[in-house]
Chains A and B, each alone.
Chain A
Amino acid sequence: MCGLAHYFESEGLSTILVGFVREHIEVIRPPRSLFLDFPMGRGMGKPNDPEFQKKVIRAAFELLEASSGPIIDDFPEIIAVKEGRMGYALPPELVLSVDDIGDVDVVLSEVRNEMEALRPDYDTAIAARGRTTVGASGLAIEELAPFVVSFLDGEIPKSPRKGMPAIPLLKLVVEDLEAYYTETRTHRDSIDDLELMGEWFWEKTKAGRLLLLLEAVSVASENKVMLQIVEMSLMAPRFWSEGPLPGTSAAGW
């Protein structure tokens, strides 16, 4: 992001950047930057808090009053992160193996039942917010779990979406699955806690367990892209873990 600032600025546009990694800002030197000591994914700080959001914007736009730069300022308020990590991370010891898969029909049935139970609250959340972020994959909600389960035998299934291969689609399906759950709970229980949501979805739900089984299949896969997904923590949230997933080197990073 810092690099983009230079392109826009050199085109005659004045830029203001907010950023989460101060050391990177200091090296790349965008013209005007506001460092935010927030978790990643929360550039304006707090959802549904217009005053806090405007405080961030005003502090950033204040930098436009400087007559020269590059200039870096620190937003004075901190939204604490846990143990230096900028987002939720799975416990390193929570790892499943392909031996844990068992009967795939049972796995699918459990997730389907769980999703159906959440459906009324999901629909209520959409009605209240007027939007949903579920749908990046283009698959219907009922198609999400079956598509993930279709990878559990170690073979790459045919993609149901024209123009998109199965593995990139899988990545979006995983996103949709998690969004379905977290959108539901953040609204139903009025929760705004990324650690709590991560812990619930990945450690306590049947859908989270399904994705950990998928991770186990990926680690054992001979498909390079499937392996890359786990090497680079592109599916299960292990980027902020203290050490790579067992069986991988984290060499992708």
Chain B
Amino acid sequence: MTKISEMPAVGRHFMSNLELTVPTNDSWTNPVPANERRVSIVSTAAVSRRGDKPFSWLAKDSRTFHKTDRDLVMTHVAVEFDRSAWQQDLNTIIPLDRLEEMAADGEISSVADEHYSFMGAADPVTMEKSARAAAAKMKQEGVNTVFLIPI
């Protein structure tokens, strides 16, 4: 396992000193059975549809993209993660095709129409309002399961 203590100096210092918001209560929602799962992806890769407003460096807001959108660009501020994988295959960070295949095979019920992207460099505390707004939209379209994928 790659431990923070074994990371190179700059990254180790950053990871060690990051202020983490620890919840006062553990949240829990009982999952629905697999064949009832309608899944929406939440990514912190700061991706958006080409032409959408780019994310600011510490953006609190989110962007929405449709399950059929493939023409996405990334405006994430950080450079510590690999971009070459998603350039080759969007599914490496946003596995829409894989979820569609799993829905077709009956492993889940369906893939949501809308999916969401946030700026992973920002403090999640500042994103609460946007996250709850996204949750409301998800519930309106019958989503019950959220797949959270960082970059």
Contact = CB atoms under 8 A, between A and B. Distances in A.
Contact of A234 (B21, B31, B77, B90): B77
Closest 10 CB pairs of A and B: A3-B124, A41-B82, A41-B81, A47-B89, A40-B81, A11-B135, A239-B80, A9-B27, A47-B88, A7-B131
A235 B80 CA distance: 10
Contact of A1 (B89, B124, B125): B124
- Among A1, A8, A39, chain B packs the most CB atoms within 10 A around the CB of A8
Contacts of B29: 9-10, 12-15, 31
Nearest to B51: A138
A51 to B, nearest CB: 10
B84 A194 contact: yes
Contacts of B102: 54, 57
A83 B54 contact: no
Contacts of A243: 9-10
Contact of B70 (A20, A131, A186, A253): A131
B80 A233 contact: yes
B82 A88 contact: yes
A53 B88 contact: no
B80 A240 contact: yes
Interface string B63-107: 000000011111101111111111111111101011101100001
B142 to A, nearest CB: 11
A186 B87 contact: yes
Instruction: For chain A, give the interface size range.
Output: 35 or more
A45 B98 CA distance: 13
Given A64-B31, A164-B54, A175-B83, 18 more contacts: A2-B124, A3-B21, A8-B42, A8-B146, A13-B135, A15-B148, A16-B147, A18-B149, A30-B148, A37-B1, A39-B82, A81-B2, A133-B87, A179-B87, A186-B84, A234-B77, A234-B78, A237-B80
Contact of A41 (B13, B86, B98): B86
Contacts of A242: 8-10
A35 B3 CA distance: 12
B33 to A, nearest CB: 9
B150 A43 contact: yes
Contacts of A88: 82
B26 A70 contact: yes
A135 B53 CA distance: 12
